[in-house]
Chains A and B, each alone.
Chain A
Amino acid sequence: MPLFAFGVREDLRGSLAGKGTSSIAEVAGHWQTEECFIYSGTAGFSCFVVGGDSHQMLESFVETLAKQTRTRAASFKKTCFFEEGATAVELFLRILAGLDANLQVRGGPETFRGDFEAARQKGQTGPVLNKLYQRGLWLTEKIRIDLKVGRSTANPEAVVCDLAEKIFGNLREHRALIACGGLAGEPFDAKLTEKNIGQILYLGDNGGPSTPRANERNKTVAASQLSSILPTVDLVLLLDGAAQEKLASVRMAQVMSKRKNAPQLWVSLLENGEADTIPDLSKFYNVYFYQKRDLDKIVLSNLKDHEKTSGAIKRLLEKEVEDFFAWVNTGEQHRFGSIVGRSEAMQKVFDLIARISQTDISILIDGESGTGKELVAKAIHDHSARASNPFVVVNCGAIPETLLESELFGHVKGAFTGAANNKIGLIKAANHGTIFLDEIGETSQATQVKLLRFLQEGEVKPVGSNETERLDVRVLTATNRDLELMVDEGHFRQDLYYRLNVIQLTLPPLRSRKEDVAPLTTYFLNKYAALTHKTVLGVDESAQRLLENYDWPGNIRELENAIERAVALSSARFLNASDFPPKVCATNSLPRNDFSADDLSLKEIEKDYIAAMLKKHEWNYELVTQILGIGRTTLWRKMKEYNISS
């Protein structure tokens, strides 16, 4: 699979903005590519392309832009770059993660994500770039969380704050004076305000305001007041030459004696020429005087510290590139973990998993029965730092309510009749890992209270025990019921709902993403063909159409069952329509039953149908779940709900 990246280095960006982007987009429409993503932003103008004739594309790219900027194509080409393979992949990941060429975190260009998602929606990108994008999202979070980067001290305002805090401790009781003409004070003002400084004074020209930020906390002082103001401020920032003459008339010895020699920090950002006129303040006792060159030196050495992390980033990046090519070579193009899907809706789900898996946020996965909620939970676990620790699945609907509490939290010997020994709860079994609570809507109020306590305090108390224990477990939950409705009806605690539902991840039903049927079919086909040692190459065209037109009320589970059945029954190399269950085939025909007799609600039909099926197949649950395309638990719940029993 050939992957290229080409584009323009950032120095030319200014002349290309606007029209250049749109004309390239137009030209790109004619390129014979499998996938293409064009990004223009602060990090340059780059095209990422999968497949096609790269040289021809580069030529047309250069030609178009050269025309746009009115330069000769040959000289324009010199400013372009061309990368392929691993370097192209690395470039993509680097831009996405906001890393510069030296692997320093520079704050990601946020437009990259938006641009990419827009291109994906238009269908310009495909499995390869989508996968790369998801890996990149994951990597970005990994770098942020593992290496704790993000707080940069490599700028003058951060250094000034560090210095001030080293001298004065907390800045709340201290005042700063900023002397500057224009907007140069803005970043310092912002940083000092962030540090809760007591007050910021501005030295105004002739008493007039020199700053847009004069409010009741920060005020402007006139130059004539300088000698009375100076002894009361602890930090003086000289940002430009404007205040020089005013300062020349101030007698430092007097200022310091008025301050009783309390320490004072002076920072001057004047250029070398201007700075000559300033007296050397560092000879005064307890005055810390930093000039521009001193600050520059500190900024530079802070930058060097950052470089230490770039080694770690480099290793992560290299591993990611390697993993990406390993994935490309397996040919599993529409997969994320063990989830299959190429539809836009599923790509969004994959993006979200990539971004949130490494945090400890609670996630509520909802979706119809059979949409693969457990697979999503497993994928989140596998992509987190907890991957090597246990992943425990609890189906709250399958455990009787009375037992659920002791299953989750454990119990001590003698807690209730039959509790002959201490039992470790499932939450504890998942310590340092993840617990996945499926069908959370089926839990009793008492269990909900205990769960809430665990989520809030991180503590569990086994049944019958007086001692609580602190555990580190990430909680993922899933439901196929409308929890919000249950909250409104009072069946589900509202506080618990908000706790669980920090992020809601909704799995779309299969009928709303028909384009996923084909890759899913291939996936299950290969799986069951291998299991049954049959050579099944695919599904014939008419059968494929049937599968795509069917509604799949049981979603992916139903599809899987249908294909398992078809593979088992089939004797040909291609599955045909007759191998599939009759109701799949019957989709296109008219409804089988005549409903004209009475007006029934869907629930009533469902109830009657389940009862009829159970009776027909002599209460063989296994068979009935297969026919209905629903899980055993769902069947069991529905039987309870509709009061169906043998």
Chain B
Amino acid sequence: MKVPDVSTLLQVVPWLVCFFYAFSFVNYFAYFKKKEQQIANRTRTWLISGVGVHTLYIVLLSIYTGHLPVGSTFLVLTTCAWFFVLVYLALELSLGEMTMGVFFLPVILVLQVISNLFINLERPLAPVLNEIFFEVHVALMICAYSAFTISFITSVMYILLSREMQSKELGIFFERLPSLEFFDKLSNQAVNIGLGLVSVGIVLGVYMGLNVWEGKWVLDPKLVAVVISWAIYAFHVLTRTTIGWQGRRAAIVSVVGFNWLLFSFLIVTTFFSKVHNFQ
């Protein structure tokens, strides 16, 4: 039997990843509605299989491109999704709380589908990207964005549960979700970690930019966008710790921050074809 070469596999495997995640999502949804142990076991099998296939995909990409798959926007996207699902799985296993999956999986799935649609593996890599600093920079950013995503999702869940409790019409969120305190803690910790990582990431990026771009970096839209996100999350930490913007207000700030992240990411990658994209 002829072993299919890496490039054919790279056509199939990413969609297989989507397939697994889609099935996990369906199962998480069923679990959320019925909360039966049987579904829970099945769901975890699907998700772990998905993670397995995704890991294979990341390995294949690394073999094909010759380095970690962080060289272009859409490569970063799938790596981000991969890292994110790992973090989620670790969370689920350590907390024993599966109801969050129904909120996490759609985000992961969307990231993966976008990556699959637009990925272009044939593009040559800019020589600057072969530096170790660059890979550290991107890795930090991916971790930070994962943390922000977790904060976003837990904040959404906080808002949903809190609204249900304020309205006094207790429904499925009250019945299924863990406590407000749980979401609050998780979201705040994620923002704290994310903010720390993104700060180091920006400093590293600026340092490299100084060397490579020789002064042009100040007006780089991606940098501007990320500094604004940094400011939003810093605002989150500040208001929360000083003037008591706990709970719902903090959750709203986190949601705004994440929306800005997504929005700026789309705007920057579609309309500004600048040096930061290395094209």
Shortest distance in angstroms between A531's beta carbon and chain B's nearest beta carbon?
48
Determine if B170 and A261 form an interchain contact, defined as CB atoms under 8 angstroms apart.
no
Within 8 A of A (CB), among B237-266: 243-249
Most B Cβ at <10 Å: residue of A167, A256, A288, A298:
A167
In the complex, residue of chain A having the shortest beta-carbon distance to the beta carbon of B177: A166
Shortest distance in angstroms between A294's beta carbon and chain B's nearest beta carbon?
4
The answer to the question of B168 belonging to the interface, with a C-beta cut-off of 8 Å to chain A, is yes
CA distance A232 to B75 in the complex (A): 51
Within 8 A of B (CB), among A161-180: 163, 165-169
12 sample A-B contacts, Cβ–Cβ < 8 Å, listed by A number: A166-B161, A166-B180, A167-B165, A167-B179, A167-B181, A256-B244, A260-B244, A260-B246, A261-B247, A263-B247, A282-B166, A288-B165
Most B Cβ at <10 Å: residue of A256, A261, A288:
A261
- Give the bracket for the number of chain B residues in contact with chain A: 10 to 19
Total A-B Cβ pairs within 8 A: 50
Determine if B168 and A294 form an interchain contact, defined as CB atoms under 8 angstroms apart.
yes
The answer to the question of A259 belonging to the interface, with a C-beta cut-off of 8 Å to chain B, is yes
In the complex, residue of chain B having the shortest beta-carbon distance to the beta carbon of A286: B247
Shortest distance in angstroms between A256's beta carbon and chain B's nearest beta carbon?
8
Determine if B249 and A285 form an interchain contact, defined as CB atoms under 8 angstroms apart.
yes
Most A Cβ at <10 Å: residue of B168, B174, B178:
B168
The answer to the question of A188 belonging to the interface, with a C-beta cut-off of 8 Å to chain B, is no
The answer to the question of A15 belonging to the interface, with a C-beta cut-off of 8 Å to chain B, is no
Which residues of B are found within 8 Å of A165, using beta-carbon distances?
Answer: 179
Determine if B178 and A261 form an interchain contact, defined as CB atoms under 8 angstroms apart.
no
The answer to the question of B133 belonging to the interface, with a C-beta cut-off of 8 Å to chain A, is no
Which residues of B are found within 8 Å of A285, using beta-carbon distances?
Answer: 248-249
Tell which of A166, A261, A288, A294 touches B244, judged by Cβ atoms closer than 8 Å: A261
Determine if A259 and B181 form an interchain contact, defined as CB atoms under 8 angstroms apart.
no
CB within 8 Å for A169 and B170 given contacts A261-B245, A261-B246, A263-B247? no
Which residues of A are found within 8 Å of B243, using beta-carbon distances?
Answer: 260
CA distance A285 to B247 in the complex (A): 9
A-B pairs with the 4 shortest C-beta distances? A260-B244, A261-B244, A169-B181, A169-B179
Tell which of B161, B182, B245, B248 touches A169, judged by Cβ atoms closer than 8 Å: B182
Which residues of B are found within 8 Å of A257, using beta-carbon distances?
Answer: 244
Determine if A166 and B168 form an interchain contact, defined as CB atoms under 8 angstroms apart.
no
CB within 8 Å for A263 and B180 given contacts A166-B161, A286-B248? yes
Which residues of A are found within 8 Å of B174, using beta-carbon distances?
Answer: 166
In the complex, residue of chain A having the shortest beta-carbon distance to the beta carbon of B247: A286
In the complex, residue of chain B having the shortest beta-carbon distance to the beta carbon of A290: B168
CA distance A301 to B248 in the complex (A): 27
Tell which of A168, A290, A298 touches B179, judged by Cβ atoms closer than 8 Å: A168
Shortest distance in angstroms between B19's beta carbon and chain A's nearest beta carbon?
33
Which residues of B are found within 8 Å of A288, using beta-carbon distances?
Answer: 165-166
CA distance A498 to B174 in the complex (A): 44
Determine if A262 and B246 form an interchain contact, defined as CB atoms under 8 angstroms apart.
yes
Most B Cβ at <10 Å: residue of A163, A166, A259, A298:
A166
Shortest distance in angstroms between B182's beta carbon and chain A's nearest beta carbon?
5
CA distance A256 to B246 in the complex (A): 11
CA distance A167 to B164 in the complex (A): 12
CA distance A261 to B244 in the complex (A): 5
Shortest distance in angstroms between A155's beta carbon and chain B's nearest beta carbon?
15
CA distance A166 to B184 in the complex (A): 12
CA distance A256 to B161 in the complex (A): 21
Which residues of A are found within 8 Å of B166, using beta-carbon distances?
Answer: 282, 288
The answer to the question of A297 belonging to the interface, with a C-beta cut-off of 8 Å to chain B, is yes
Which residues of A are found within 8 Å of B244, using beta-carbon distances?
Answer: 256-257, 259-262
Within 8 A of A (CB), among B59-95: none
Which residues of B are found within 8 Å of A256, using beta-carbon distances?
Answer: 244
Within 8 A of B (CB), among A144-172: 163, 165-169
Shortest distance in angstroms between A75's beta carbon and chain B's nearest beta carbon?
46
Shortest distance in angstroms between B177's beta carbon and chain A's nearest beta carbon?
8
In the complex, residue of chain A having the shortest beta-carbon distance to the beta carbon of B174: A166
Determine if B168 and A297 form an interchain contact, defined as CB atoms under 8 angstroms apart.
yes
Which residues of A are found within 8 Å of B182, using beta-carbon distances?
Answer: 169
In the complex, residue of chain B having the shortest beta-carbon distance to the beta carbon of A291: B168
Per-position binary interface string of chain B over residues 173-196, scored 1 when its CB falls under 8 Å from any chain A CB and 0 otherwise: 010001111100000000000000
Within 8 A of A (CB), among B29-78: none
Determine if A263 and B179 form an interchain contact, defined as CB atoms under 8 angstroms apart.
no
Shortest distance in angstroms between A197's beta carbon and chain B's nearest beta carbon?
14
CA distance A163 to B165 in the complex (A): 8
CA distance A45 to B247 in the complex (A): 55
In the complex, residue of chain B having the shortest beta-carbon distance to the beta carbon of A298: B170
In the complex, residue of chain A having the shortest beta-carbon distance to the beta carbon of B169: A297
